[in-house]
Amino acid sequence: MNSLVTDAQKAGERVGLTFDRITIEGGVPLRGRIEVRGAKNLVTKAMVASLLGETSSLLRGVPDISDVRVVRGLLEVHGVKVTEGTEPGDLILDPSNVVTAHMADIDAHAGSSRIPILFCGPLLHQLGEAFIPDLGGCRIGDRPIDFHLDALRQFGAVVDKLPSGIRITAPNGLHGANIELPYPSVGATEQVLLTATRAEGITELRNAAIEPEIMDLIAILQKMGAIISVEPNRVILIEGVEKLEGYTHRAIFDRNEAASWASAALATGGDVFVGGAKQEHMMTFLNIFRKVGGKFDIYEDGIRFYHPGCALKPVVIETDVHPGFMTDWQQPLVVALTQATGLSIVHETVYENRFGFTDALVGMGANIQVYKECLGGRPCRFGQRNFLHSAVISGPTPLEAAEIEVPDLRGGFSHLIAALAAKGTSTVRGIGLIDRGYEHFTDKLTALGAEFSRD
Ligand code: EPU
């Protein structure tokens, strides 16, 4: 495992992912205005979609984050010319010379990203084959991408496992299919969309994910010439077309980033205006934010999130696929819940193992216990399987400064919030991981009056 981690780290460093640390003087409420741009979880897929077109695409509102650099590098090794446009955040993607990339080149850019799996459909259409590198030993193989591979097989693709990754071919072309996902997976839904748009015939996808980022990807594909209809009950129908053109599109805003800054405002007792945030895609978050006691005002150009000035209230949350409470929102919000008076429960039903980040919070004085049982609501698919997927947070507990290490993107941001809320000097190591999905977050911290230094 160690050598695999090292490979991922090296790949990360090549795209600007550093292992910097930040020293924070906590206890200062965040106050001010920041802007969020295009959603990481749309922009990276929209960049892949450009591969399907015969002409150039213009994607607007692209944030400067390392996940975008990873996907840009991957597109470039496949011959896509990527250039900046006239406005900040414009990317022009020209797919007129798509070529088969060398495995080594793909691997070098991929790092620990899961996006390469989404190159399958577009590359099969463009080149008749696709190689997906093994990005980290235990990370690939049938389990985490089984829905993707099963769907590709149903389109007629042949999947060969090689020691270095997976080779996918389509000797008889790709044909529309009837696919039912075992779970409404975001990535597998995107896989089907990106493959079905140019497959021959009609595809019916059942139990699809319907996140706003997926709707935005469908809007992009429609601009390109695709025929896709979203039906009731998680059904999506795609009529394959022979060719697609490039698109011009402004990416949907990053609701995960907006919710993260909202949680930071609440946990630090602050007041943050998140420019670019829109109510319609955050309603589930706003309901919970209000139940906790958080205040918000909706404006045309963003949402102001602020602490009520009195005690916060405990809540019961169950994460879920859209329109449920997003799994990516729970980690930052848990820090604010450590400051609520009473017992809060978070039942994580999307990922089996997303509470590792709470260890560091407990080390800082939080009272959080994690359980294998499904607490607070309905049973989920993890209940019988020994996963620590429910958390009980008892507050309020003052947080004490600590030295902490970033475990993952959202867990890392929650550690950052904890350090900002804690009295005293904390050090958060490995913050390059936060750069994967939070654009210029240290500049934003400065704009919000945080006291810190980054080494
Ligand atoms: N799953 C499988 N097999 C598959 C695919 C998924 O078992 O082939 C399982 C996963 O293990 C998980 C569940 O299905 O338990 C849902 O996974 P999903 O496929 O929906 O997630 P994803 O597409 O890999 C995206 C976001 C995540 C976000 C989830 C859920 C991107 C790049 N990532 O992941 O975002 O949490 O959807 O909304 O779009 C983040 O931004 O920090 C992040 C992790």
Task: Say if residue 444's pLDDT is above 60.
Answer: yes
Q: What is the pLDDT of residue 384?
A: 82
Cα of 78 to ligand 1 centre, how many Å?
25
Per residue in 241-294, pLDDT tens?
999 999 999 999 999 999 999 999 999 999 999 999 999 999 999 999 999 999
Cα of 416 to ligand 1 centre, how many Å?
23
pLDDT band at 144 (very low <50, low <70, confident <90, very high): confident
Q: Kindly state the tokens that stand for 270.
A: 């602050």
How many angstroms separate the CA atoms of 274 and 285, rounded? 14
Q: Kindly state the tokens that stand for 307.
A: 């602490």
Q: Which residues contact 198 (CB under 8 A, 6 or more apart)?
A: 52, 121, 125, 174, 240, 241, 242, 243, 244
Burial of 147 (0-12, 13-18, 19+ CB in 10 A): buried
Q: What is the pLDDT of residue 133?
A: 76
Average pLDDT, the chain: 92
CA angle 221, 225, 231 (to 5 degrees): 60
Instruction: Give, for ligand 1, the residue of 45, 183, 285, 348 to mutate: max count of ligand atoms closer than 8 Å to Cβ.
Output: 183
* Least confident window among 9-23, 203-217, 348-362: 9-23
Ligand 1 pocket: which residues have CB below 6 Å?
40-41, 114, 144-148, 183, 185-188, 209, 256, 326-328, 350-351, 409-410, 437
Cα of 372 to ligand 1 centre, how many Å?
21
This prediction has a pTM of 0.95
According to DSSP, the β-strands at 403-405 and 424-429 are parallel
Listed residue (395, 430, 398) closest to 411, CA to CA = 430
Active site residue 138: yes
Torsion of CA 287, 289, 292, 295, to 10 degrees: -110
Which atom of ligand 1 is the closest one to the Cα of 351?
A: 15
Which atom of ligand 1 is the closest one to the Cα of 256?
A: 41
* Residue 395 parent element (H or E): strand 390-395
Task: Say if residue 6's pLDDT is above 70.
Answer: no
Handedness of CA 69, 75, 77, 80 (dihedral sign): negative
Cα of 187 to ligand 1 centre, how many Å?
6
Per residue in 90-130, pLDDT tens?
999 999 999 888 777 877 765 557 788 899 999 999 999 99
Which atom of ligand 1 is the closest one to the Cα of 148?
A: 8
Instruction: Give, for ligand 1, the residue of 40, 139, 350 to mutate: max count of ligand atoms closer than 8 Å to Cβ.
Output: 350
* Residue 393 parent element (H or E): strand 390-395
Listed residue (354, 357, 328) closest to 419, CA to CA = 357
